[in-house]
Amino acid sequence: MAIAEQIKSDVTTALKAGDRDRVGALRLVLSELQKAAKEGDADEQAVLRRERKRRRESEVAYREAGRTDLADGEAFEARVIAAYLPAELSDADLDALVARAVEETGASGPRDMGAAIKHVMAAAGGRADGKRVSTKVKEALS
């Protein structure tokens, strides 16, 4: 079942359960998925990762501004979105991917970071955040 279909089903379930926060979060995500589909972007996981990243960034901004109520809402939405994504890679798995990428690309310094990051991101298949990958590659190359 496609992710959008699963979310539609979950919206119905949340409506019946009276879970207004979850319904709102799911409808927002469903709207983004439908908009991406109209624009020809068929990669639902990429849309979900983008939306999760937006929520995490908003949460940080709200916390820095002292708006914990809004930050908690963004954190809740990020958790709802994350439930539809594959599990993140563990640190050990990511370290192994980074080591393999450094070896295969022949990366030896900061100038080669881009190639190594690109290799890791392709191998991770969307199961690792770009910032996390960048940090791990930088550590491996320094």
Only one residue has tokens 């908009």, namely 35
Residue type, 139: E
For residue 7, the model assigns a pLDDT of: 93
pLDDT tens digits for 36-81? 889 887 788 888 988 999 999 999 999 999 999 999 999 999 999 9
Q: 3-class SS at 24?
A: helix
CA distance 76 to 39: 27
Where do the domains of the chain lie, and which CATH numbers do they carry? 3-82 (1.10.1510.10), 91-141 (1.10.10)
Is the pLDDT score of 1 beyond 70?
A: no
Cα 14 to its chain centre, rounded Å, is: 23
CB 14 within 8 A of CB 30: no
Q: Does pTM top 0.85 for this prediction?
A: no
